[in-house]
Chains A and B, each alone.
Chain A
């Protein structure tokens, strides 16, 4: 992989931060209704189409933010700023997910 134009550290940091945020705010790029195979842009709910799936949309939202960050923020910036603590970002995102799902998990 060419790390001159793509910064993996920036990608991961922004992916984790964005994932926590879009999950908390319910900001999927699109939603999918598997019963009839309908896609819709944005998070708006549609009635009468069956159950909705937002995971693909959440992944896309976070991935888009992370891709932009990876292209715009050089690796040496994230390296210098975070060094050996960069791996804590996924743990933080995982803790956010546990917190947001607490009512299901600990009911």
Chain B
């Protein structure tokens, strides 16, 4: 296995960690009922959502950095075969993934701001909006990366 293959695996693992953190936070924002119940969802949502903010930001920056390091290899070794296979849609969803990831990076300072500056457990519309949008980006990027890796693999 090459260095790029290892980096791709680390990229996937960081993606899983990021997915877990941001999903926890998003579910907690959406699940408004008392969090002391015995049900799984109540326990899943009953976490200190503010505590996930630093983890989400750190993992997101790490994830985009890893993606940026791997990207030239994709451009040379993956995209060109996709073009030869006429997989325009695969190229398109990768481009969407990269642009969405970039937009998410631009959201991070404000994401940190709304989580650090607003007291109280009831989320403001902007905290809810920004957190769920970031969660959507993370989910979409993870799924697109998974699909593209299934097409091309590590070889």
Contact = CB atoms under 8 A, between A and B. Distances in A.
B24 interface: no
Given A34-B72, A62-B106, A90-B107, A105 B126 contact: no
Contact of A87 (B72, B133, B137): B133
Contacts of B102: 19, 55, 58-59, 62
A72 interface: no
A21 interface: no
A26 to B, nearest CB: 13
Interface string B113-155: 1001100000011101110010001000000000000000000
A70 B106 CA distance: 12
Contacts of A53: 71-72, 75
A77 interface: no
Q: Is the interface of B mostly helix, strand, loop or mixed?
A: helix
Interface residues of A, number: 42
Q: Is the interface of A mostly helix, strand, loop or mixed?
A: helix
Interface in B80-128: 80, 88-89, 91-93, 95-96, 98-100, 102-107, 109-110, 112-113, 116-117, 124-126, 128
Interface in A1-58: 1, 3, 6, 8-9, 11-12, 15-16, 19, 23, 32, 34-35, 50-51, 53, 55-56, 58
Interface residues of B, number: 38
A50 B77 CA distance: 12
Nearest to A56: B68
Interface of A: 1, 3, 6, 8-9, 11-12, 15-16, 19, 23, 32, 34-35, 50-51, 53, 55-56, 58-59, 62-63, 66, 70, 75, 83-88, 90-91, 93-94, 97-98, 101, 104-105, 107
User: Top 4 closest A-B pairs, CB basis?
Assistant: A104-B92, A87-B129, A15-B106, A34-B72
